[in-house]
Amino acid sequence: MTSDAVTAALGHRPGKVIAVHLSYRSRAEQRGRTPSQPSYFLKTSSSVTGSGTVARPEGTELLGFEGEIALVIGKPALRVAPETAWEHVGWVTASNDLGLHDLRYADKGSNVRSKGGDGYTPLGPDLIPAEHLRPDRIGIRTWLDGALVQNDTSAGLLFPFALLIADLSRVMTLEPGDVILTGTPAGSSVAQPGARIDVEVFSLDDPTTTSGKLSTTVTEGPPLPGWGHPPTVDESQRADAWGTPVASARPVLTEAIRERLHGVAVATLSVQLRKRGFDHVSIEGVRPLVPGSTIVGTARTLRYVPYRKDLFAEHGGGFNAQKQAIESVGAGEVLVMEARQDPSAGTLGDILALRAKVRGAAGIVTDGAVRDAGPVGELGLPVYCAGTHPAVLGRRHVPWETDTTISCGGATVCPGDIIVADDDGAIVIPPSLVAEVLTAAEIQEQEETFIAERVADGESVEGLYPMGPRWKAAFEQWRAERR
């Protein structure tokens, strides 16, 4: 581990490191709860470090990372008002609020052992003077092994920086060098040994004003000694650490299930979903750009909002949400775009489609249009869309946000849902239903094969389609012979 920027600048470690539990809208939406006031926990000053390595103890599972904007106090603050609180910030930098979820249960929310380990608060590498920043115009990005996984700004905070400072100063003196970790946006997750986490904080007004990338590589450390609370995890802890709902905390789309889904028709899956009360899972109006294309994958989401000049000026250029979605889509994932079923401007072109293919995406679904349709169709990446159009997205759309629940073609799509598509269209399967629906669909298709054979032999459809008791028995025998 290297010496950290705060210690180097001040000549001593921070006296206090104070972290906020939940402070971004995106994170609150992901967690399904929104606090009315901020709450905090303390981290040890000995957890502070800079870029370097952090050890995950052997025998543990869930080392979580959280990219955050860190405020470093420059002058004492006691009972300051929100209106003047920012004046007490000396510097801003990047931080990584690391924590070992295996030990969270041991301290009942105080996070003493889970978040207080040596090296669990990397800061830096550079300190940005606070006077060079507007507090509502600060960006935060986190990469895991080079893939962008967190991207937000201080405009997405539930509680502005000034409120955090003023609130804390009601009961304690914030001293020069104290650090406030201001919370993490959606996208934090778990890092395995060998993984590298990079965090950067920067000015939205001048992207050259930056903390630089704070880099942490996870290594495998020795096991924890045998005394004290042992490391313990359950499905709830896994879900919290990985940043996913409990029902999807572990992958449901194994290679075996993916292959089986490729073997059944979307029409059959649709029947089985409807039998279970899911009548609105078809993504209406989308068709394969290249007939015969099929998609099976896990949903990632991107939402466009209607074009507005001021919003497009702020959100449409640079590394916008569209590019973020393309740069973060992973192998076997399907990028699903909400474009309000407006096919009068492109939502995808050939360069970004190529990038998605190189990253291993299973496909792209948009209820808007595709431009560069010929080159996109030649890539071999399955793309489903509502049409083609030569105009760029700025004619109708503003790239707005990623990895949130969206409506695509009238169907609700959550990150982690299973997307299956063929020439009949595309559907959304809730992860908790995949195994049940798939098995039922396979049996249904076997029944239909059996029925088709009987009809070809000259049998009447009466009592056969749908299958009555006599034919049910014959079908079970037919099926048993083919196992």
Annotated binding site for substrate: 349-352, 371
The annotation places the binding site at 349-352, 371-372
- Spatial distance between the Cα atoms of 187 and 197, rounded to a whole number of angstroms: 12
* β-strands 63-65, 99-100 pairing: antiparallel
Dihedral sign, CA of 129, 135, 137, 142?
Answer: positive
* β-strands 333-338, 295-306 pairing: parallel
Which pair of structure tokens corresponds to residue 72? Answer: 């470093």
The annotation places the binding site for Mg(2+) at 372
User: What is the per-residue burial (b if ≥16 Cβ within 10 Å, else e) of 309-330?
Assistant: eeebeebbeeebbbbbbbbbbe
Which pair of structure tokens corresponds to residue 336? Answer: 């699903």
